[in-house]
Amino acid sequence: MRPAPASRIATARSTGTAHRIPPTPADSDPGPGLDSVPGPGPRPGPSPDPDPASDPDRQPTARRFAGVATMIGSGLSNQTGAAIGSHAFPVLGPIGVVAVRQYVAAIVLLAVGRPRLRSFTWWQWRPVVGLAVVFGTMNLSLYTAIDRIGLGLAVTLEFLGPLCIALATSRRRADACCALVAAAAAVTLMRPRPSADYLGMGLGLLAAVCWASYILLNRTVGRRVPGAQGSAVAAGLSALMFLPVGIAVAVHQPPTASAVAYAVTAGVLSSAVPYLADLFTLRRVPAQAFGLFMSVNPVLAALVGWVGLGQNLGWTEWTSIGAIVAANTLSILTRRG
């Protein structure tokens, strides 16, 4: 999974995958940006044949198309990064790959968030520390589950965390039906069979619990700490926690150049690229559309695992994954406002 700034609200995160900034709906004013900075020289006069990119009537459609394209790229990047990171498991193990990913996430978020540590109060530090612990535990349990049960099933089980948060906060009958569908699909995925890896499934569910906790802590941190400073500090603390782990892994089994390259690539594709992509996306598409697309991540994970890693799933697994995605989609589409 990828890191998210603490100020990202629970709506966008809980309806989809984790991990970024407060979503700015496409219909709202995103504030000053690069496009609004006046350049040198005189302002251009009216043109009889305006450029389509500058046509106000065409800008919303173009912006949303760009946002959707970025969401697709972000999702594929996230799941591809996890698949590439799995190639380093034989040398570094899941814990070593997660350690490298935490380092990459810390570098990116600290560079963007630029936290002012001296201004933090204990009231702000408490949820930030909790976020750091949950962040590391979530990624470690997810990557260990990927190593044991495959990318598609691990991400699907993890997705139950934000889905439960979204459904538990509602009192609608439609959401109750969606919850039953998702629960039945989860039971089907974890049904007893000779080849079942219950430890791997348990780790996937632990990742789901961590993701749900991550959403709640993110909301608290977002309220107490301005901007992305809270997530940046949490990522930095998590990286510090994994520093002894990284050293122990390197001493016990010296990593190869290819294994380190796989782990770093996983960190970039699953942390840096999705984070920067969301900075672009959340200003161009509504939070509801963002949540709808994020719910497709289990399908993307299953496809990437199948194509990239040769992890084949049976029709029962595919049906269960589709049911969980459909439950989340139906829940979002039937909401008002």
Q: Which of 102, 114, 108 is nearest to 237 (CA)?
A: 102
Secondary structure letter of residue 76 according to DSSP: H
* Amino acid sitting at position 236: G
Burial 278-300 (b: 16+ CB within 10 A, else e): bbbbbbbbbbbbbbbbbbbbbbb
DSSP 78-146: HHHHHHHHHTTHHHHHHHHHHHHHHHHHHHHHHHHH---GGG--HHHHHHHHHHHHHHHHHHHHHHHHH
Confidence at residue 286, expressed as pLDDT on a 0 to 100 scale: 67
Whether the CB-CB separation of 142 and 158 falls below 8 Å is answered with yes
> Can you tell me the distance from the alpha carbon of 305 to that of 322, in angstroms, rounded to the nearest whole number?
16
Structure tokens that stand for 135 in this block: 């962040």
Give the position of tokens 């498991």: 89
Quickly count: other Cβ atoms within 10 Å of residue 263's Cβ: 27
Beta strands in 141-240 (DSSP E): none
Question: Tokens representing 161?
Answer: 């965390």
Tokens of 213: 């906790």
Q: Give residue-wise pLDDT tens across range 3-25.
A: 544 444 333 433 434 343 333 33
Q: Tell me what pLDDT residue 287 has.
A: 62
The confidence score (pLDDT) of residue 297 equals 82
Contacts of residue 320, defined as CB under 8 A and 6 or more positions apart, other chains included, come to: 156, 185, 186, 188, 189
Which is nearest to 88 in space by CA: 76, 79, 98, 77?
98
- Each residue's pLDDT tens digit in the chain (337 positions)? 555 444 443 334 334 343 433 333 333 333 333 333 333 443 344 444 444 444 444 556 676 677 777 878 888 888 999 999 999 999 999 999 999 999 998 998 898 888 888 888 999 999 999 999 999 999 999 999 999 999 999 999 998 888 888 777 777 888 888 888 888 888 888 887 777 899 999 999 999 999 889 888 888 888 888 878 888 899 899 999 999 999 999 898 888 999 999 999 999 998 888 877 776 676 666 666 666 677 788 888 888 988 888 888 888 889 988 888 888 888 877 776 5
Any idea which residue has 């999974």 for tokens? 1
Q: Rounded to whole angstroms, how far apart are CA atoms 147 and 89?
A: 7
Q: Distance between CA 129 and CA 237 in Å, rounded?
A: 7
Give the pLDDT of residue 88.
93
Structural tokens at position 111: 């560079």
Give first-to-last CA distance, the chain, whole Å.
Answer: 29
Quick one: pLDDT at residue 144? 95
Residue 270, token pair as written in the block: 């699953």
